[in-house]
Every structure is written in C-alpha cells, then in structure tokens.
Amino acid sequence: MSRRASGPRARRLGLALIAAALLAGCATGTTEADPGAPDAPSASTGTVATPGLSRAPEGRTPDGTLLVADFGSDTVTFVAPGRDGSGKDGAPIASVEVGTAPYGLVVGEDGRAWVATAEGVAVVDTQQRTRLALIPYATESGPVTTGEYRGGGMGIALAPDGKHVYVGVNVPGEDGTVEVIDTATREVTGTAPVGMRPFDVDVSPDGREVYATDHDSFDVTAVDADTLKTRRMEVAPYGTEGGLGSWLKPHYAVVRPADGKLLLPFEGERLAVLDPRTGKVTIERMTANTHQHGATLTSDGTLLVVGTGPIGSDDEDPSLTVRAPDGTERVVPLEGPHEDVAVSADGSTAYVTGGFTRDGYWNGITVVDLDDEKSEPVRLTAGNRPLGIAVL
C-alpha cells in the first residue's frame, strides 16, 4: 500500500492508528456477524446443483473458461468468458463443491485445480468438473468458519515442475504456516513457519524458494523448497505504525521472471520491489491512488493490479492498473470493489473478481480489454463472492 510522504500519508496513518482492529478492513478480527463453526460439508465429490448451471459435465470444459473460488460459499464456479473472451453473453456453466470458504486457487498443466479452503486443499478435475480429494491441513487453525478472518488456506501456488503445491495457512491471531503438498500422493509432506495471514504465496522461477506475503506482520517469508528453512523480510513502505489496525500492509505479490524480484503494490502510490536474495526493497511510483489487492503479470511483463477502492477521503475509486514494463501506467476505472485478477493466454483480456475480502463485494467478474483503451469494461455474472481466479 504505497503512500505519499506528505499530507495524504499522514492522514492515512492517523486513520490506521485510530481504527480498531475489528473495523480495519485488513486487520485481524471479525468482519461479518460471527458465522460460528459450521460442520464440515460432506466429503462426497461431484458437481453441485446450482440454479441455471449444468448439474453434470457435458464433454470437455472449453479452453479459456474461467474458474473462480466462491469465498461466500463452498464451491468453485466455472464461467464461460463469452464471445472471444469479451464477456458478452458469458455465464456460469457449473459449480463444484470444494470446502468451506475457498480463497485462492491454482491450476496445473494437467488440468487439476488446487483450491485453498477453510478445511483443506481441494483437488478438482477441471475437465470432468468433479472434486477428486480434500487434503486436510497439518496446521491446527481453529474451527472451520467463514469470512475474511477465517483460519485455513489463503494464498496457494504450484511449483514450476508441478510436483508440489504450496499453501499459506492462516492461524487467527498467530503466525501462519506454508504447507507443502506432494501432487502425486496428495499428502502434506512438510510445514514451514511464516508470518501472520499469508494472503499470497508465490514461487521463484527456478522453484528453489517459496514466498509467503504475510499481511498482518508487514513482511514476506522466503521458504527454501528443499530444506524448508525460512527467512523473513520486512516490506513496509509506510512503516509498521498502527500494527494490526493498519491498512498499509502487503497483500499480493508477483515474481518477475526476468530477475526473480517480487513486486508488491501499495495503495496505488508505491510499488515495492523486493530482492529476495538481499532483502532490499526499492520503491517505484504508482498512480492509481487507491487501496490495492490482487496482482498478476502478463507474458510480456505488463503488471496488472486491482484497486479495491478508497480507505481515506483523498483516495480514488476502484480501478485496474495496467503497468507496462517501462513503468508507464494506464488506470482503468472499475465499478465497485474487486479483489483478484487473471489474464487470458494471449494477454489481451483481464478478468477481475468482485468478491473482495472485505464487505461490499458483488457476485461477478469485470472483463477489461487490455488492447483497446477506449472499450468499456464488461460485467459477467459469477459465483458467490468470487475471489481467486484462473483461466483454464
């Protein structure tokens, strides 16, 4: 959350200091009415009946289909992106039960999706649209609940060779872990300690390190993929003042393939560039001036960053930042809050989920044409509070 060093920064830090943890959208606590600890859903697999969706798979899931994690439910939803991926005439086509409050997801080249839920990591066959397994966590993260601060899986990533999945497990009020799952045996084979609320997990291009973006501890934990030894690196362009009540924390990161550095956007004002070899952070200017969450890179190195909306009186509305490798930016206005973003294989279209970790979410996806600056974003209907997203 990049902040200016002058007046806006001071006002926002003041806001963060006086905000109680329960009210700060990115602090530890509860956000909705306490949902309690519902029983875990049935372990049966298959496609669930959802109004307007096909109950059983009919042939192969088309390439380019969107897969979203329904954070407000216990499903992932398959969404047709519409003609030429434009969003026109796109619609949900099926949903599959995966487990309570799915957050992040990642899809391998074999078509299997790995979904971080409150109960464990679900494995989904995206072609047959069925759940193959639900892998319980080795970390004790408390009762199964829903909402922004629930325990269980958050960020999730796949090793470049596809042999391991890495999932960040949130333990409410405590440091979390990264768990290692063998994709062949579907078993947890190791656990490494990380910081608080691992919002995002990424892997180095060579697969040797795993990075957990630790939201509530203002840092990134690097985990050696072989030894599981860890080192934590502070990423706090605005300092750590305000603690759990601060808005000015890291959320999502991307790893730049060219040099292995992590890019972490802050508040549409600063891009923190972390060199994981040295722990050094350099800052580049951003222009959206809005609270930021999800991020991804296109194949040509363009950075896409989701602006969720204002947290201070001088902030701008939600947006999608399209940042070229040379640092020039185009800011695309969005209607309403959004959380995460994925990009089409050809890099021409961005899909931005409206689920949002905080209140104010909506049940859809915004489609942004990255090639045509004059085109208006198009909205698709999706699942229930869609958060994580992948293009199949």
> Mean pLDDT in each 10-residue stretch from start to end of the chain (392 residues)?
33 37 36 30 36 46 95 97 80 96 97 98 97 98 96 98 98 98 98 98 98 98 98 96 87 97 98 98 98 97 96 92 97 96 96 91 96 94 97 98
**Distance of alpha carbon 6 from alpha carbon 234, whole angstroms:** 22
Q: What pLDDT, on the 0 to 100 scale, is given for residue 59?
A: 58
Residue type (1 letter), 245: G
**Tokens 């006086």 appear where?**
18
- pLDDT reported for residue 38: 32
Residue type, 196: M
Spatial separation of the C-alpha atoms in residues 266 and 111, rounded to whole Å: 33
Query: What does the alpha-carbon distance between residue 297 and residue 304 come to, in Å, rounded to a whole number?
Result: 6
Contact call for residues 309 and 322 (beta carbons, < 8 A): no
> Contact at 8 Å (CB) between 293 and 252?
yes
Residue at 66 is within a domain: yes
**Could you tell me if residue 225 is inside a domain?**
yes
Cα 114 versus chain centre, distance: 13
Provide the sign of the torsion angle of the four alpha carbons 381, 382, 386, 392, taken in this order. Answer: negative
- H-type alpha helices, the chain: 7-18
Could you tell me the CATH number of the domain that includes residue 327?
2.130.10.10
Residue 204 lies in a domain: yes
Residue 162, Cβ density class (10 Å: 0-12 exposed, 13-18 middle, ≥19 buried): middle
Q: In which domain, by residue range, is 53 found?
A: 7-391
377 in a structural domain: yes
> Which of 362, 181, 159 has its CA nearest to residue 353?
362
| Domain assignment present for 2 | no
Contacts of 5 (CB under 8 A, 6+ apart): none
In a domain, 367, yes or no: yes
Query: What residues are paired with 320 via a beta bridge?
Result: 306, 332
Q: For residue 358, is it within any domain?
A: yes
Domain count across the chain? 1
Residue 142 lies inside a defined structural domain of this protein: yes
- In the prediction, which pLDDT does 221 show? 98
Q: Single out the residue of 123, 117, 220, 194 nearest to residue 165, CA to CA.
A: 123
